[in-house]
Amino acid sequence: MAADPLQERLQRAVSPDYRVERELGGGGWGRVYLAHEVLLNRDVAIKVLRPELATADAAESFVREAQMLASIRHPNVIVIHQAREGEGLQFYVMELVQGPTLEGRLASGAIGVNDAVRIGVDLLDGLETVHRLGVVHRDIKPSNVFVLPDRALLGDFGIARPPSEQDDAHARDGTPEYMAPEQVDGKSITPRTDIYSTGVVVYEAATGRRFHEQGTQVDWNGMPGDLARVLQRAVATQPEERWADAASFRKALEATQTPQVARRIAAVLGAGVLVVAAVVLIKNGGHRTPPPPPPRNNPGVPMVSFDRIDYVGPPNDHALADSLLRMVQSDLHDHLNFGNPAPLAIQARMTVSRDDMGLRLTGGIPASEFHVPLDRWPALRDSLSYQILLGVWRDRSPLASLPIRALPRTWEGLVRVLEAEQLVARAEWEDAYDAYLKAEASDATCWICSWRITEIERWLGRQPDPARVQRYRVHADSLPQPFRGIIRAAQLPLRARLDTLRAAADSTRENFLGWFQLGDELFHRGPLAGHRRSEAIPAFERAARLRPDFGPAWEHLAWAATAEGDSADAANALDSLERHSVAPDPYSRTLRALLQLGFAWRFTPESQAQRSTEQVVNEPAVQSSADLGAGPRLLPTFDVPRGAIALGIILQKSSQQDLRRSGLIAQTLAAVALGRLQDAGDLAGKLTEVAPEAELGLFTAELPAALALLDPGSISVADAVDGLQPWIASGNARAKWMLELLGQHQAGALPGPLELLVAADSLATAGRPRAALVLLDPVDVDAAALRLDPFYRTIVHLRRAAWRARIGDIEGARSDLLWYEHLDVVGLPTDLPQAAEVDWAFGTLARWRLARLLDAGRGKHRDACDAYAAVARHWSRAPVPYGARADTARTRMRQLDCAAAR
């Protein structure tokens, strides 16, 4: 067989990493080859742009396809490992799919309804992520769908692009047999265009009939009616009549596979409805009374069966059983919604004498016995209802996160706690807070309410009540581990707190609350102790697996995954959050909007993220939110300083001074993160004009001083000193210690932590970095930053990292350079700048230092690649020296083969 010249060129380009075996096939743009990756001992596919088509436009499209695929991590989308060029060729290495295409499967006829639906669900699951990233595939057809034994994959993104308007030159690109009407006509292309094509593919897979060959009279015979209705909506001629998005189409497809019996029940009771049922058997000479009628349907109320009630007493009093059960039914119905707990079977023995009524309960609840005077028999109602709730809580409810011995002792208290916990689970923070306050007020025994209130206050950014904190601390020792450890952890220093929470999670591996608390601490404060933010993700994932309907786990997971650049996990978490909390309170709606904006700026094209920002800000619920000013100042926690600038510009135009101030603070610090120091200075000037507050004036004077100190040459020391001089006249300690660090000796004493840093810096300058660390390491840096100066923590961590590197403590230096990844704010940042915001602003500089440290041959390759990637992303448009550093970062990434390292 004649040699393939292109294969030979490709082999030279990929040697020695890959061995090119043979051609697998090709399409319009490129040819695909089977190759073997030598180092990892795996087969891969390499797609190479046809040399004869390598025009500028073709190369741009090819590179765009590689970039789009590289940004998507989803089990139903083909994975790209890396993109490269060499020997005059452009190519990328991707997952080798060992399976046929759907087109090949359909060559022998229809594959059947069940398999067609399964493939459709997989495609739509992948499209949820694709669309969320701002991409429309535009060419969904059987030949681009690969069918594996356990899943289907979507491939060939050669013509994928963002949504487009009518005048888009590429609007008609695609395969006519699977194109939506608007695509054929060259009109606006949206994600609903892919919905149409997917509907056509599922129809053909289920029936074996070609959809477009039938014209307007499509044959739906032989297809289940519910599936036909779902697909008919998907292939509607008008885009607005189709499913709104891939998620809703997917859910509708999945629903068609629900077993028929369950579907009939759901139609009668409503989805997920379980009602309180009481079946009463009265043993009295074989006499049987009819069961009391069930209450109104209430979704998620636990099914409670009194499958045996033994009645002992006068025959005429057996009606007491019916009356008591009706009362219990009413209690359960009016207050509770547990989701879908398992049925609870209860046995009871009721005795009635002349003066006394007794009730003994066994079965699915803790065994208990009660007696009351006969004329007070309704008093048994609370005891019976309480015991049933306790049984549901203990054994059946997904809410069983709190220890039974800590729960309230009254029916009303227990009901309110359960209601509050359900609101927490739905991440409806404001409503949960109010519910717990009511629970605390209604039952003096509910000290666990005080702990939960404090936990929610922390998430809402409110300062806890010391008396309330003291209340639950006093009672914590009465609990078993791990709850005692979880509650006590908040009193411990950070490192000990993390160790305690990890031990609590490990000791009860099936208790989701322990894992959530560990993840929460790692996410918010772990980086301050040298832990990567990413360490929180497995803990949140564990909590979410154990309790899939617990919204806070998905909320935190979406935040952390977005910040880490994992689009698939972030999208999945956001979707799960929406599924489990569809009507959040105003605070939670604003928080969801922030999560969506963080995702948009992290993963979608900047133009689309800008549109998303404008849309979110125009929503009435967001505009009326008292927390709107925190939005741009929290966006850097998603690693998107450009998003902070975009939202900050919008708020800067507000008529409200506090929003204008927040918008300018966000822009100033984001400009520092992006290496645009001139912009930062100009914005700081505008800030002092908009809000002429002394504290802000001092902050804007400290900013250039910190830059001159931490990144010598970026700012003139003389200019920095001049900016601080006016504050020296008033004896300001913050200005004084900054000048001391800049080499300008000042008379007078400083507060302890500031004095220690100045002394440590002098030791290090004198060639004694070990002594400097011995002096500074015991200082509570976080407390000092909050109390004394928002720049203190940033300067300490960057200084200590440099000193540790000088003594060869690379791991210690690395830990110090991770501090900025935290999310430890005091309340919500809507007022003066916080230490946390300064930390985030200097995060890019920290990553530059980390990359250079690890790249010196003494560190971790993967971490160096990640740090270089962030530097290149943030400083790519910056002036010198930052733009030049971005160029260096890109060069080193190529030399280190960072794509392969990922």
Supply the pLDDT for residue 511.
78
Tally DSSP H helices, then E strands, for the chain: 41, 11
Take residue 827 and report the two structure tokens written for it.
């309340």
> For residues 410 and 533, what is the distance between their CA atoms, to the nearest angstrom?
42
Alpha carbon separation from 755 to 149, 748, 773, 791 (Å, rounded) = 67, 10, 14, 14
How is 119-130 classified by DSSP, letter by letter?
A: HHHHHHHHHHHH
The 3-state secondary structure of 364-414, one letter per residue: CCCCEEEEEEHHHHHHHHHHHHHHHHHHHHHHHCCCCCCCHHHCCCCHHHH
Give, in degrees to the nearest 5, the angle at Cα 174 between 171 and 179.
Answer: 85
Q: How far apart are CA 72 and CA 89, in angstroms?
A: 24
Please give the helix or strand (H or E) that residue 279 lies within, else none. Answer: none
Amino acid 192: pLDDT = 94
Backbone angles phi, psi at 899, to 5 degrees: -60, -40
Q: Supply 742's token pair.
A: 């800049």
Q: What are phi and psi of 296, to 5 degrees?
A: -60, 150
H or E segment at 48? strand 42-49
Question: What is the C-alpha separation between 365 and 347, in angstroms, rounded?
Answer: 9
User: What CA–CA distance (Å, rounded) separates 278 from 265?
Assistant: 19
* Alpha helices, DSSP H, located in 748-791: 752-765, 769-776, 781-787
State residue 222's pLDDT score: 84
Closest CA to 658 of 889, 829, 472: 829
**Distance between CA atoms of 219 and 162, rounded to whole angstroms?**
33
Q: What is the pLDDT of residue 776?
A: 95
pLDDT of residue 681: 95
Cα 590 to its chain centre, rounded Å, is 15
Give the angle 688-689-693 at the CA atoms, nearest 5°.
Answer: 45
Q: Is the pTM of this model over 0.85?
A: no
Q: Could you give the angle at which helices 512-524 and 551-564 cross, rounded to 10 degrees?
A: 40
* Model pLDDT, residue 128: 87
8 Å CB contact between 209 and 219: yes
User: Could you tell me the mean pLDDT of each successive run of 10 residues in the chain, 902 residues long?
Assistant: 78 89 76 85 85 67 66 79 81 84 88 91 89 85 88 82 70 82 88 95 93 87 89 93 90 72 30 27 32 37 48 58 63 50 63 74 68 70 68 53 70 79 81 86 81 84 82 76 80 90 82 89 95 94 87 93 92 85 74 92 90 89 85 96 96 93 97 96 93 91 96 92 88 90 85 93 95 94 92 97 95 95 90 96 97 76 89 93 94 81 44
Kind of pairing between the strands at 304-312 and 344-352: parallel
pLDDT at residue 42 in the model: 82
In the numeric block, which tokens belong to residue 623?
Answer: 């505009």
Distance CA(377)–CA(372), nearest Å, equals 6
Q: What confidence score (pLDDT) does residue 299 get?
A: 38
